[in-house]
Structure 1
Amino acid sequence: MATYFVTGATGFLGRGLVERLIARPDCDRVHALVRPESMAKFEARGWPASVVAVPGDITEPGLGLGPGALPGPVDHVVHLAAVYDLTAPAEANHAANVTGTANVLAFAAANRAGLLHHVSSIAVAGDHRGRFAESDFDLGQRHHSPYHGTKFAAERLVREQDDVAFRVYRPAAVVGDSRTGEMDKVDGPYYFLPALARLARLPRALPLVLPDLGRTNVVPVDYVVDALAHLMHLDAPSGATYHLAEQGGQPVREVYNALAAVVGAPRIAATLPVRLPPVRSVPEPAAAVLAELGVPAQVVAHLDIPTEFETGATQVALAGSGVELPPFAEYAEPLVRYWERHLDPDRAWVRADSLRGRRVVVTGASSGIGEATALAAAAEGATVLLVARRAEELDRVRAAVEAGGGAAEVHPCDLTDGDAVAALVKELGVVDVLVNNAGRSIRRSVHLSVDRLHDYERTMALNYFGPLRLTLGLLPGMRARGFGRVVNVTTMGLQSDTPRFAAYLASKGALEAFGRAAGRELLADGVSVTSVRMPLVRTPMIGATKFYSALPAASPRSAARMVLRAMRGGGDVVQRPEGLAMEVLRVLVPDTARRALNLAYRLSPESAPEARRRAESPFAVLASTVLRPLWRGLR
C-alpha cells in the first residue's frame, strides 16, 4: 500500500490529483500539507478519512511541522505548491518557488521518502528559441519574469541534489477541465476573453487579417492530473522528466479562432508574413489601458512562446494509459461557458436590463409600494429579499410571491437600529439591487412643529440614516462584483416644495442628494444610484390623513412599475411628467410658483387635531396671498 505527502493539495491541480490518488486501490493514505488559512478549503472538499490534513507551510523550515506530524516515512512526496502568477512580486515568487522547494527537499530527505515528484513548468525554458526536449534544462536561456526565473531555480535545486530520487513534470499553461470547463481563476487566455466577447458585436463573417501572433501552449487541468497520476507510478529512473504540453505548441491564431467560434466573434482569416517583435516591457499609458481591459501588462510579454516543446518521451510513457491530450478546439466551448458563468468580471452586466436571477432587496416590503414592487420583481425572475419590521406581514408577502411561482426571503429588521442593520447586511450576502423604499411621512406645518424636533429626527432616522446605513453596508459587495443598483424611493414633493411636509421632504432631499453625489463617484465602479420621485400613492401611509381621500392618487402597482424602471437601469431619476412640469415652473416663474403654493397651503386644512383653527374665508385668503407681497413691495 502506498502513502503520499502532497503540498498544494487545496490548489487547482492538487485537488484533482488527490482525487485520482485516493481512487487507486493501492492508496493507503494521503497526507496533505495545508496552511492554516487554507484549512477551510480543505474541509470543504469532504475527502474521506484516508486524506489527512497536516498543518504547515512550505516557506517555513521543516515545513513548519511539529515532531510526530507524520506516523512514518512516505512513499511519494508530491510537490505542487508554488506561486503560479506572472503578476506576483519577486519576493513572493522566491519564497514559495525557491525557498519552498528547498524546504520540501530537506523534508523528503529527512523522512526517507521513496520518491520526490517535482511539478515544475515549461516556464523553465525561458526565452529559448527552437526545440526543447524533456531531457533539456539549462541551454543558456534567459528568464524575463520572477515567475519564470524562480521555476528554473527551483528545478535546478531538485536536479543538483542526490539525497532523494526524483521525477520532474513540466505542465504548459493550465486551463479549465476539458469536459466541464471548471477553472479556479482568470489566467493565460482567460484574460483576453472579455475582449473576444465584445468582438462578438461585429459581424461573425467579417474576416480578420492580422500579423503572425506567434505560438502558445495550453493544456486542460484534467489532462495534467490524469497524466501525473499515471506517470508518477511508472518504473522510471531518477531524473525522468515529462512535458505535459502540446507537441511544438499551438499557433495563437488557432487558439483565437477556436474561442471566437464559441462566442460568435470574427475569425482570423489570414495571417500576414510579419511576426510581431518580442515585448519585454509595456509603456505605462498602454499598461493602464490594458489594466482597464483586465489584461495585466506582464502577460503580454509572454503571449508568444518562442519555444517548441518536445513531448515524444512523455507520449511513450503514457501509451496504453488512455490519457490523451485533446485538441484545443474540442474543449474551447466548455472553457468559455464556464468562464461566462463564473469568471467573467462583467458577468453581472450580461442582460443588465433583466431582473431574472438578480437578488433584490426591498425595504418596507410589508405593504404598499414595497409589497407591490416585491411581487412585480419576483414575477420577472428576481429573488426578492423582503425587509421590514413586522415578520408576520413579511411572511404574508413571501407566501404571495411563492404562490405566483417566485422566490423570496424574509429578513425582519428595524432600519433605525444601527446594530440590526449591520446584522442584516451579513444576512443578505451578495445583492444586485437595493430598493430603499421604507419611509415615514409627517404632514404638519413648520409653525406647529417648533416644539416637535423629534418629528424631524424620526423622519431622518428612517428616511435617510436607515437607507444610508444599508447602502453603505452593501456597497463594498457591489463594487467588488462591478455591478449594483441602488434605487431610492423619494417624492415628487421635492419638485414642488409641497407645504406641510418640511420634515418629510428634508429627509428625502438628503437621500436624493446623497444618491446624486454617490452616483457620480460610483459610475466607473459599475454601481448606479437612481431616485424614483413618487406622486401621491394610495398606501397605508397616507390613510391617517382624511384630506388625501379626496385627492387623485396612483396605485401601488403603478408605483411599482416606476421602481422597476429604475431597477433595470433608469438613469439618475425616474419621474412623472407632472413632476417635471412643476420643476420647470419653479425655475421659469419662481415667484408665481411660490405664491400659488402658499395659497394652496392656506386653503387646505391642517391634519393634526390640535391645530384646528378658525376657518378663514377663501376670499380673504386669496386677497391676502396676492396683496400682501405687493403691498410690502411698495415700501
Structure 2
Amino acid sequence: MSYFVTGATGFIGRHLVEHLLAERTGEVHVLVREGSRGRMETLRRRWGADAERVHLVTGDLTEPALGVDPAWVSEHAGSVDHFFHVAAVYDMTADDATNDAMNVAGTRHAIDLAGALGAGILHHVSSVAVAGEFRGMFDESMFDEGQTLPSPYHRTKFESEQLVRDQTQVPWRVYRPAIVVGHSETGAMDKVDGPYYFFPLLKAMRDVLPGWLPLVGVDLGQTNVVPVDYVVQAMDHIAHLANRDGEAFHLVNPEPQPTVDVVNALCAAAGAPRFAVPVDLGSRGPLALLPRQLRPGNLAQGLLRNRAVQALLDQTVGRAGIPAEVLAHTGFRPVFDSRRTERALVGSGVAVPDLESYARTLWGYWEENLDESTGRDPKIRAALSGKHVVITGASSGIGQVTALKVAQAGGVPVLVARGKDKLEETKATIELRGGRAHVYACDLSDLEAIDALCEQLTHDLPSVDVVVNNAGRSIRRSLRLSQDRFHDFERTMQLNYFGAIRLVMGLMPAMHRQKSGHIVNISSIGVQTNPPRFSAYVASKSALDSWSNVVASEVVGNGITFTNIHMPLVRTPMIAPTKLYDKFPTISPAQAADSVIRGIVDKPHEINTLLGNAGAIAHTVAPKAAFRVLNMAYHVFPDSAAAKGAVGSGEAGARESEQIMLARLFKGVHW
C-alpha cells in the first residue's frame, strides 16, 4: 500500500502520517515546501525507525500539479493507492486571497496531481463549514442546498469540495471534520485556533476570580468539537473500506454540544469559575415566539458580523487575542447528521470521546506549550534574552514547562535530567518553535557525575546565568512506617540537598568570574507548614533553604543571588503515585513555571503563598495549636498503600469527605 499526503507538516496531516506509520504498511510520500524541509526532518526524527518509510516530495500548494517534478510523477504513476489532500487554510481570520490560493487553487492542483498519478482514491479533507448557515439537519448526502456562506473560509471550503466532486478524474471520498482540537490523550495542538482563542480569558478568570464563583452565561447556541486523534483514526478506517467512493463523511460529535457546556468543561479544566445559568437569547422560551430574524441571539450574531462592529471589536476584545471573526462564528446553525460515518465505523473501536474526559489534557497542553504571555512580556524578554538557564529535572513537569517558557522569551534552556531521550524531545519541541536548547544527561544523585557535568557546562557554554534546582524526590511516609527504611532519608537528602548544592558549588566559580548569576531553588510549602508524613522530604528542602540563606550573604557582593520558591502542591508526575491527590486542589506545572520565571526575572529572596506564610506565622506565634491541627490531619489522612508495603491505593475510605474538606481549606499543602 502506498500513500501520498499533502499538508503533512500541518496539524491534521502530521497526526495522519504518524497514524499511517503506526497502523499501516507501505511507503508514505509527503509533499513538502523547500522551506519546510527542516520541520519535516525534525518530525521524521520523532517517528524513529518508521520514518524510513516517509519520503519527501518537494512541491508547493500554489503551483500547478503542486509543483511536483514531472519525472517523479512519471516514475510513481499508478503506484499511489491513497492520495490524502489535507493541506488547506484552517483559519477563520484568513483573508479572501489566502483562502482562495490555499483552499481553492490548492485543491485544483491536488486534483491534477492525483489524476496524473492515477491515484487509487483521492481523499479530500473538507469541513462542516460547507454547510454555512443552513438551518436544520444537514446530512452527509447534502452539499449544495442554497446555503449562505458567511465568510471566506466557508466559501472556499465549499468551492474546494465542489471541485473534488465535479473535476476529479479518480475515485474520491470527502471528510468533513467539525472544530478540531488537540489530541485527546496528549493534548497536542499546533496553534491557537477556534476555542483556543478564549483560553487566555479563562486563564485571566482563573487568576482573578475564585473557582467557586458562579457566573451568568449567555446561550450561544450549539457547537461541535472533536479531537484530532478521532479525526485521523476515522479517516484512516473509512479510507480503507471497500465501496465507499463518491461519499462524504461528517467527522463530528454525534450529539450537538451547547457552546456554554463546552466553555464550562474548559473552565473546569482551567480551575476558572463556570457559567451556571445561561441567559436564553431566543432559541427556546418565550423569545422563540418572535420572528427568527428578530430574536436577540440572531440580532447579536448579525451585529457581530457587521464590519463596523468588527472593527470596534478588534480594538477591544481583539487586544485580548480574540479575533472579531471568531466571535461572529461561535456557534453552528446547522445540526450535523453523522449516521453514515457511525455506520462506517461500527466494529472499528473508533468513537468520539466525551469532552469532559480530555478537557484538562487540552488545557494543560495549551498552558504549557501555546500560552505566549511569557514571550510577549517585554520585561521577561529583556531579562532572559540570550541567557543560559540550567534547569534540572527538565524532562517533565515544572522543569520541562520552565524550559519551554525560557525559550519562548529568547533564553537558552540547558536541559538536565537522567533520561536523555525525553530531554531530546523537549529540545526538538523548542527548536520547532524557533528556539535553542542544550541537552546534558546526568544522574543528579551521583556527586561525581555532577562534578563532570559542571566541568562540561563551564567548558561548553559562554556563560551560566541562571541555575534552577528543580530535580527532586518526594517521600510520603510516617515515621512509624520508616523505622527500617533509613535509606529513604539518605536518598532524599542525596538528591534534594547534596546534589543541589554540589551543582551550585561546581558552577559558582564561573558565576564569580562573570560577577553575576542567579540560583532558583524549588522548595516546598511544607518547609513553612510542616505537614505530617513528609519528614524526609521537608527536612531535605529545609536544608537547601538554610544553606542558600547562608551562602547568599557570602556571594551577594559578587552579583550572585538566590530565590527560594516554597511551591504548593503541583500536578506533576512526582505526585501521581499518591492517588489521594487526584481529588485535591493543585496548581498546574505551568502555574508553577510562571513562579520560576518570576524568580528568574525579579530575583526576590523568597516566593511564598499566603497559606504558606500563614503556616509559618502559626508555628511561630501558636506552635502548640499548629501541631494540634497537624496531628488531626495526621489521623484524617492515612498512610498510602505503598508506604504500608501493600498493593493498591488503600487511601480512600469513610473519611474521604473530611480529607477533601481539609485539602480545600489548606489548599496546596502536601497531606
| TM-score under structure 2 length normalisation | 0.55
Please state if 1:184 is matched with 2:160.
Answer: no
Equivalent position of 1:534 in the other structure: none
**Cα distance change on mapping 1:256 and 1:127 into 2, 3 Å:** same
Match of residue 130, structure 2, among 101, 124, 128: 124
Aligned to 1:511: none
Report the CA distance shift for 1:45/1:568 in structure 2 as closer, same or farther (over 3 A).
closer
Aligned twin of 1:6: 5
| 2:265 aligned with 1:258 | yes
Give the 5 Å matches for 1:35-54. Answer: 35-46=33-44, 47-54=50-57
Separation (CA, whole Å) in 2 of partners of 1:401 and 1:194:
42
Relative to structure 1, is the Cα distance of residues 318 and 401 closer, same or farther in structure 2, using a 3 angstrom cutoff?
Answer: closer
Query: What do you get for the CA RMSD once the two structures are aligned?
Result: 3.7
User: Percentage identity across aligned positions?
Assistant: 44
Q: Secondary structure at the match of 1:269?
A: coil
Match of 2:316 among 289, 293, 307: 289
Would you say 1:340 and 2:339 are equivalent positions?
A: no
Question: Residue 115 of structure 1 aligns with which residue?
Answer: 121
Q: Which residue of 1 aligns with 2:669?
A: none
Q: Cα distance 1:143–1:406, how it changes in 2: closer, same or farther (>3 A)?
A: farther
Secondary structure, in 3 states, of the residue corresponding to 1:243?
A: strand
Tell me the CA shift for residue 284 of structure 1. Answer: 2.5
Query: How far apart are residue 563 of structure 1 and its match?
Result: 8.7
Q: Matched residues in 2 for 1:407 and 1:270: separation?
A: 61
Deviation at 1:264, TM superposition (A): 1.4
What is residue 98 of structure 2 aligned with on the other side? Answer: 92
Q: Which runs of 5+ in 2 are unaligned?
A: 45-49, 283-296, 390-405, 415-446, 468-513, 517-552, 564-597, 605-671
The C-alpha deviation readout for 1:264-302, integer Å capped at 9, x for no partner, is 111111112225321213343321222221112221111
SS of 1:271's partner is: coil
Instruction: Compute the displacement of 1:36 (Å).
Output: 0.8
Name 1:64's counterpart in structure 2. 67
Q: CA 1:359–1:164 in structure 2 vs 1: closer, same or farther (change >3 Å)?
A: same
Q: Which whole-Å CA distance do the structure 2 matches of 1:264 and 1:101 have between them?
A: 42
Asked if the contact 1:383/1:407 (under 8 Å) is kept, the reply is no
Describe the superposition over 1:545-593 as per-residue Cα deviations: whole angstroms up to 9, x where unpaired: xxxxxxxxx964356477979954379xxxxxxxxxxxxxxxxxxxxxx
Mapped partners of 2:412, 2:61: distance in 1: 44
Query: Contact 1:341 / 1:347 at 8 angstroms: preserved in 2?
Result: no
Q: CA deviation at 1:28?
A: 2.3
The farther-off stretch of 296-305 and 175-184 is 296-305
Query: Could you report, residue by residue, the CA deviation over 1:128-172 in whole angstroms, capped at 9, with x for unpaired residues?
Result: 122111111111112222111111000011111352111000011
Structure 1 segment 63-462 matched on structure 2, within 5 A: 63-70=66-73, 71-73=76-78, 74-161=80-167, 163-200=169-206, 201-275=208-282, 276=297, 277-278=300-301, 279-281=304-306, 282-347=309-374, 361=387, 409-410=457-458
SS of the residue 1:193 aligns to: helix
**Conserved 8 A contact 2:133-2:147:** yes
Counterpart contact for 2:5–2:86, Cα < 8 Å: yes
Distance 2:454 2:213 in 1: 43
CA shift in 2, pair 1:216/1:69, >3 Å: same
Q: CA deviation at 1:407?
A: 11
Distance in structure 2 (CA, Å) of the matches to 1:310 and 1:11: 27
Q: Distance in 1 between matches of 2:314 and 2:106?
A: 31
Deviation at 1:349, TM superposition (A): 9.4
Higher helix share: 2
Report the CA distance shift for 1:62/1:405 in structure 2 as closer, same or farther (over 3 A). closer
CA distances 1:241-285 after superposition (whole Å, capped 9, x unpaired): 100011253111111111111121111111122253212133433
Which residue type is aligned with residue 319 of structure 1? Answer: V
Q: Distance in 1 between matches of 2:99 and 2:231?
A: 22
Task: Measure, in 2, the Cα distance between the counterparts of 1:294 and 1:409.
Answer: 39
Q: What CA deviation, in whole Å up to 9, does each residue of 1:432-489 have, x standing for no partner? A: 99xxxxxxxxxxxxxxxxxxxxxxxxxxxxxxxxxxxxxxxxxxxxxxxxxxxxxx99
User: Counterpart of 2:84 in 1: which secondary structure?
Assistant: strand
1:569 correspondence with 2:617: no
CA–CA distance in 2 between the matches of 1:5 and 1:246?
A: 28
Contact kept, 8 Å, 1:401 with 1:408, in 2: the verdict is no
Once the two structures are superposed, what CA deviation does each residue of 1:582-614 show, in whole Å capped at 9, x if it has no partner? Answer: xxxxxxxxxxxxxxxxxxxxxxxxxxxxxxxxx
Higher gyration radius (CA): 1
Q: Which structure is higher in strand share?
A: 1
- Mark the CA change 1:184 to 1:383 in structure 2 (over 3 Å): closer, same or farther: closer
Counterpart amino acid of 1:48?
A
Question: Residue 114 of structure 1: CA displacement?
Answer: 1.5
Which residue in the other structure is 1:55 paired with? 58
Question: Does the 8 Å contact 2:77/2:116 carry over to 1?
Answer: no
Q: How many equivalent pairs are there? A: 406
Gaps of 5+ in 1: 364-380, 386-398, 414-423, 434-487, 491-553, 572-635
Give the CA deviation at 1:60. 0.6
- Larger deviation, residues 49-58 vs 555-564: 555-564
C-alpha contact (below 8 Å) 2:388/2:412 kept by paired residues: no
Q: Secondary structure at the match of 1:177?
A: coil
Whole-angstrom CA distance in 2 between matches of 1:193 and 1:214: 19
